[in-house]
Amino acid sequence: MDGLRMEEMMPDISRLAQQLVRWLGSSGPDCDIVMSSRIRLARNLTDVPFPGRATESQQEQILERVVPEVKSLKEMENAYFWPLSSLDPMDKRLLVERHLISRELAARSHGSGVVVSADESISVMINEEDHLRLQVIKGGFDLDHAWQHADALDSQLGQRLPFGFSNNLGYLTACPTNVGTGMRASVMLHLPAMVLLDQISPTVQGVAKVGLVVRGLFGEGTEAMGNFFQISNQTTLGESEEDLLLRLSGVIRTLVQNERNARQTILETQPKIFYDLVGRAFGVL
2 inside domain = no
Structure confidence at residue 219 (pLDDT): 58
pLDDT average, residue stretch 78-90: 93
pLDDT digits (tens, 9 = 90+) for 167-209: 999 999 999 999 999 999 999 999 999 999 999 989 888 999 9
Structure confidence at residue 17 (pLDDT): 78
Structure confidence at residue 191 (pLDDT): 95
pLDDT average, residue stretch 90-109: 94
Mean per-residue pLDDT of the chain: 90
118 inside domain = yes
239 inside domain = yes
1 inside domain = no
Domain containing 77 equals 7-284
Residues in the chain: 285
**The pLDDT of residue 231 is above 80:** yes
User: Quick one: which of 8, 137, 127, 12 has its CA closest to 63?
Assistant: 127
**The pLDDT of residue 4 is above 60:** no
Structure confidence at residue 8 (pLDDT): 47
pLDDT average, residue stretch 120-149: 97
Structure confidence at residue 250 (pLDDT): 96
Residue 11: CATH number of its domain = 3.30.590.10
Structure confidence at residue 126 (pLDDT): 98
Q: How far apart are CA 45 and CA 161, in angstroms?
A: 7
Total domains, the chain: 1
45 inside domain = yes
231 inside domain = yes
